[in-house]
A and B are shown apart, each in its own frame.
Chain A
Amino acid sequence: MKFKHCLAGVAALLATSAMGPLAQAGEFDGVTVNIMTQTGAIQEPLQRRAPEFEKLTGAKINVIAVPFSDLYQKVLTDWASGTNSVDAAVFAPQWMVDYIAGGFLEDLTDRVAKEPKIKQDDVGAFFRDFSEKYDGKIYVLTFDGDFHMMYYRKDVLDAAGLKPPTTWDEYLAVAKAVNGKDMDGDGQPDFGSCIAKKRNAQSYWFVTDVVGSMTQSQGTSQGTFFNTKDMTPLVDNEAFRKALDFLKESSKYGPPNELNMDVSDTRPLFTSGHCALNLDWGDVGTLSVAPDSKVKGKWGAAVMPGSKQVLNWDTGKLEDCTKDNCPYAIDGVNHAPFAAFGGWGGGINAHAQDKVKDAAFAFFAYMTEPEQSNIDVTIGATGFNPYRTSQLQYSDMWSKAGMTEDEAKNYLGAINDSMSSPNMILDLRIPQNQKYQQVVLDEAISRFLSGEIDEEATVKAVVDGWNDLNDQIGKEDQLKIYKATIGAK
Chain B
Amino acid sequence: MTKTITISPITRLEGHGKIDILLDDRGQVQDAYLQVVELRGFENFCVGRPVEELPRIMPKICGVCPGAHHMASAKACDAVYGVTIPGAAKKLRELYLCAHLAHSHLLHFFALAAPDFIPGSAAPKAERNLLGLIKTAGLDLGREVLRHRGYAQKIQGIIAGHPIHPVAALAGGMAKPITGEERGEIESMARSLARFAAQALDIFESKILVDPQNTDLFHDEAFALNTHYAGLVDEQGRVNFYDGTVRVVDPAGEQVAEFSADGYLDHLAEKVVPWSYLKLPYLKNVGWQGLTDGPASGVFRVNALARLNVADGMATPNAQSAYERFFVHFGHRPVHQTMAYHWARLIECLYAAERVVELAVDEEVLDTHVRTVPSNTPKEGVGVVEAPRGTLYHHYRTDARGIVTAVNLIVATAQNNAAINLSVKNTAKILIDGGEISDDLLNRVEMAFRAYDPCLACATHALPGKMALELTLYQHGKPLHRLRRDGT
Tell me if chain B binds chain A: no
Residues of A within 8 A of B (CB): none
Taking beta carbons and an 8 Å cutoff, which residues of B are in contact with A?
Answer: none
